[in-house]
Chain A
Amino acid sequence: MGSTGMSMRGLGGLGDMIGAGLRGLSRYTGTLFAVFVVQSLIAAACMIGIALVLAQAFSHLPLFDEAVDGQLVAVIWVVRHARGTFVAVGGIVFAAIVLWQLAAWFLAGGLYGVLAERPESRGETARCFGASGAATYLAYARLAVCSLPAWALVLTVFGACLGMVAPRLEYALAVTDLIGPLAFAFVPALALLHFFWTVSDYARVELTLRHDTHDPGVLATYLRSLVFVAKRPLTLVHGGLGWVFFLLVTIAYAYLSQGRAMYGAEGAITLFVARQGVALLRMAIHVAVMAGQIELGRTRPLPPRHAEAPADATS
């Protein structure tokens, strides 16, 4: 793999990628926190917005308190009789996710840039983060558009597989009856999703690493990344490992928090803080994966040059 002399430089495989992740985390903890603060602010704004909408509708109705305490009938009443309120809540959630997605193009670009350039000082890191995020923002946006057919394919595969096993799901009698059909419905789509997700990640890496030197075209980068990921299962294993840890952290929190109801406004704040800890941990996993991807991305063959740049520039 790799047509350049430096393509396999120092990279033995998964262990090196994980090591790069850990190094990236320990070295750029502040950057991680900075990105996390942005996310937390959006989440907090989302929480405040939702709280205002819900309080406007329900602060005088103890039935809502019962619903939040988990009384099923109260939940049904509240949801059925305040649909507009819950549509508004859904709108806030949707807006938060869209906002984050838009911000994430900049933040991911900044993170990849820092992890690629490895600046030394805090100021240098900030400059590098901002410069890389700004430089790659539109390229990432175009990449998102280029990825749309892939997501459509994922949905199509999911729909087709689900359609094939729908009668089995509909007529299942035992949980064990569900395993096969659900696996058939979800596994191919999830595998494809993971594949295309990884392709997008490596396309971002490429756009970040080669932006200054080669100014690669987005579509060409996407297609080259598709081939790269297809030829290097390591990329999928590495990314998959990240998702496994992401899932484990989420499940562990759900398990530990089960049956620990928190009441009142203090409870709400405690919950928010505890969940921010979990979110921080999961973001650290993401950043570690990104660092590993940068490490492997350096080994890829250089793209065709579209811009004037030093011939040996690799990062």
Chain B
Amino acid sequence: MARTAVVVAVCSFALACGRDHGTPRVRPLPVADGSPALRGGGAPRSPRSASYKIDARLDVVRHEITATQTLTWINTGESAVDTLPFHLYLNAFKNESTLFMRSGRGGMRGEEASPGGWGWIRVDSVQVAGAELASTLAFAGGDETVATLPLPTAVPPGGTIDVAFKFTAQLPEVFARTGYKGEFHMVGQWFPKIGVRTGPPGAERWECEPFHVNTEFFADFGVYDVAITVPNTYVVAATGVLAAATEAPGGTRTFTYHAEDVHDFAWMADPYMDVMSGQAKVEDGTVEVRVVYRPAQKEFARRHLEAGVGAIEKFSAWFVPYPWPIITIIDPPPDAAMGAGGMEYPTLVTTGGDTVFARPGLRLPEYVTVHEVGHNWFQGMLASNEAVEAWLDEGVNEWADAKVMADLYGARASGVDWMGWQAEVGALRRAVGTDPSSLPVPIAAAAYAFVDSSAYASATYDKTARALATLEQTVGPAKFAAAMKAYTRAWAFKHPTGRDLFDVLSRELGEDLTWFVRPAFQEVGGIELAIRNAACRLVHPPRGVFGEGASRTIVTETEAPETGSYICEVVVTNTGSVHAPVDIELEFADGSTQRVRWDDRGRGTWERFVIERSTPLVEVWLDPENKLALATPVTHRYRLDGDGSAALRAAAWVSSVTQTLMQIVGP
């Protein structure tokens, strides 16, 4: 008996544990993509002011990259430059004292950095015109994620400089978008990357913020030629197109990628990945969508592929056509997904990861893929400064994602369509998100200025999307779509700011949007609609004592009977900071309805509606079409006479469950 129990226990544990990937095998040498880096070739889309040639070798045992890099930087400004600042992002993961680790309290997105899996980057050499300048490279801003390089000779306006680096990058155990997990390597923010000159001509300044847990990235467009050497058992995927793949000594091979008009370069190496691909049709051709996944994730890869193809097609149709020939979607292994998942780079994104609990119909995996692919527009092409205006890509992208999901999966079930449950993405986001009115920081704040990561995420992603959806519904979806298209076409391959977005919107919509933009984006608060009072009374002529002396009369109920009609009064308030027109639907006892509109822009915080009808009012519904996404709609629909039947049904269900529990604990 005991022996049997031991055998059963051992077998159970074996069954419960371990999924073996097998031994990595030498992969066939990939064929170069053979396509130009931009679809159809053509002229550069961007100034290409920061271009990189990198030769990198990955040590898959030590998870370390040794590389040489030549940066060619063009001073596109009108002032000379005597110092170059560089991001050394990997130093954020060097120890617990970095700004990143301190600001994130050692974690990000709910995951802690792995103790012992530290990451760092060391610049071994930096040369300008053959002169070694490594000794002059100095960390700036009290953090090792930014270093400045004084130049022996200033770069004049329009001038070009080549800076040659040798560096060593130690990847962290996967955390905050980059690193390794087992044999999986996601390599992002891994090379010395120059900052961006911004500001008015002649008074430009560097934007090169230290790496904070809330801040992402900002960089200039350029051309990337990157050679990556890895063991010949590894599959590689990277930004751009594969220009060449060659065998190299020591059982390795070198993959050379070429990308144009991009502002970042990331790559992945893993010995177990497979690739599936599909074609997205855009107005001027097709885009190849590749999903790179481990075999156990094949079913999820299909979902990501469908979402990726759909996203490329929708974003291209609604904004700017996707300009590159390929997009690669990395589906990280489950144990690496928290760290590596849900990240965007030009032409390469990572999914949010896969789990058995994301059943088909629960569309979080699809949503994250659509979101990351969407970043190829909002930040990939419209390269806003994520450190200073994170909402401009994250929030605008979130707004667009909900529309893409609705178009791909149906408006009613774009978020959930499972076991009879259905929900639309925007409605779900609104329901699970933080009340915008409760956020202590406005949307338009620098990412590092938020009180905490939660407020940053709520304002940057959710509140922005809700504010844009509110504005869209207020001005009309068709007009708003055209205005957003105009914005993306005007600012693609540039560095737009929030002001640029609203300038274009105001121009295209033909109205000054200050009434909405200032309170919704630059101030704290939201829309706080409420029904303060809703009541009806039967109408009758005035009763009481009228006149004096001989003309004094007393009008009683008999003389002034009720007419049979009702006077109904509804008082609506908006105590929030954002005021937008609101429709109000009044339903009467005979089933008839009446719409009234309250446009409270500059007209106070409350309004009284008085309606005379032959039947009494039974229900008031503020914003029945849910146009005001910035508002919290729980009490927007109000029944004048209470109805407890739903409460009784819910109670019957709960008591039934309770009785089942009672029967488990007792007879």
Chain A residue total in the interface (Cβ 8 A) = 83
Mark interface residues in A48-69 (1 if CB within 8 Å of B CB, else 0): 1111101100111111110111
8 Å CB contact of B666 from A47, A107, A173, A262? A107
Contact A168 B17 (CB under 8 A): yes
Q: Is A81 in the interface zone, CB < 8 Å from B? A: yes
- Name the residue of chain A whose CB is nearest to the CB of B421: A72
Contact A76/B431 with A43-B659, A64-B647 known, Cβ cut-off 8 Å: yes
Contact A268/B648 with A44-B655, A89-B654, A173-B355 known, Cβ cut-off 8 Å: yes
Contact A60 B653 (CB under 8 A): no
Which of B78-86, B204-212, B398-406, B630-638 forms part of the interface with chain A? B630-638
- What is the minimal beta-carbon distance from A19 to any residue of chain B, in angstroms? 20
- Name the residue of chain A whose CB is nearest to the CB of B663: A282
Q: Is B649 in the interface zone, CB < 8 Å from A? A: yes
- What is the minimal beta-carbon distance from A286 to any residue of chain B, in angstroms? 5
Near A by CB (< 8 A), chain B positions 618-667 give 619, 632-635, 637-640, 642-663, 665-667
Contact B658 A46 (CB under 8 A): yes
Which of B189-197, B305-313, B422-430 forms part of the interface with chain A? B422-430
Q: Is A108 in the interface zone, CB < 8 Å from B? A: yes
Compute how far the CA of A65 lies from the CA of B639 in the bound complex, rounded to whole angstroms.
Answer: 11
Which of A22-30, A118-126, A271-279 forms part of the interface with chain B? A271-279
Compute how far the CA of A72 lies from the CA of B418 in the bound complex, rounded to whole angstroms.
Answer: 11
Residues of B within 8 A of A59 (CB): 639, 642-644, 647
Q: Is B42 in the interface zone, CB < 8 Å from A? A: no
Q: Is A97 in the interface zone, CB < 8 Å from B? A: yes
Q: Is A297 in the interface zone, CB < 8 Å from B? A: no
Compute how far the CA of A185 lies from the CA of B17 in the bound complex, rounded to whole angstroms.
Answer: 12
Contact B12 A65 (CB under 8 A): no
Mark interface residues in A71-109 (1 if CB within 8 Å of B CB, else 0): 011001110110000000100010011001101100110
Contact B297 A104 (CB under 8 A): no
Chain B residue total in the interface (Cβ 8 A) = 62
Interface residues of A: mostly helix, strand, loop or mixed?
Answer: helix
Please indicate which of the listed interface residues B297, B650, B667 has the most CB atoms of chain A within 10 Å of its own CB: B667
8 Å CB contact of B427 from A69, A70, A73? A73
Contact A43/B655 with A60-B638, A97-B665 known, Cβ cut-off 8 Å: yes
- What is the minimal beta-carbon distance from A138 to any residue of chain B, in angstroms? 17
Contact B663 A61 (CB under 8 A): no
Residues of A within 8 A of B663 (CB): 39, 246, 279, 282-283, 286
**A-B Cβ contacts below 8 A, count:** 220
Residues of B within 8 A of A181 (CB): 16-17
Near B by CB (< 8 A), chain A positions 164-207 give 164-165, 167-168, 170-175, 177-181, 183-185, 187-188
Contact A271/B651 with A73-B431, A178-B356 known, Cβ cut-off 8 Å: no
Contact B13 A268 (CB under 8 A): no
Residues of B within 8 A of A174 (CB): 296, 299, 356
Compute how far the CA of A72 lies from the CA of B432 in the bound complex, rounded to whole angstroms.
Answer: 11
Q: Is B15 in the interface zone, CB < 8 Å from A? A: yes
Residues of B within 8 A of A42 (CB): 662
Contact A265/B645 with A77-B431, A168-B17, A180-B15 known, Cβ cut-off 8 Å: yes
Contact B356 A177 (CB under 8 A): yes
Contact B665 A43 (CB under 8 A): no
Contact A100/B666 with A70-B420, A76-B431 known, Cβ cut-off 8 Å: yes
Contact A51 B647 (CB under 8 A): yes
Compute how far the CA of A170 lies from the CA of B421 in the bound complex, rounded to whole angstroms.
Answer: 24
Residues of B within 8 A of A68 (CB): 646, 649-650
Which B residues are within 8 Å of any A CB, using their own CB?
9, 12-13, 15-17, 19, 296-297, 299-300, 333-335, 354-356, 416, 420-424, 427-428, 430-432, 619, 632-635, 637-640, 642-663, 665-667
Taking A39-B662, A73-B424, A76-B431 as known contacts, 14 extra A-B pairs with beta carbons closer than 8 A to each other, sorted by chain A number, are: A39-B659, A47-B651, A51-B644, A59-B639, A63-B634, A68-B650, A73-B431, A97-B662, A101-B666, A107-B667, A167-B335, A170-B334, A173-B296, A173-B299
A-B residue pairs in contact (CB < 8 Å), sample of 7: A39-B663, A51-B644, A54-B647, A97-B662, A104-B666, A164-B13, A265-B645
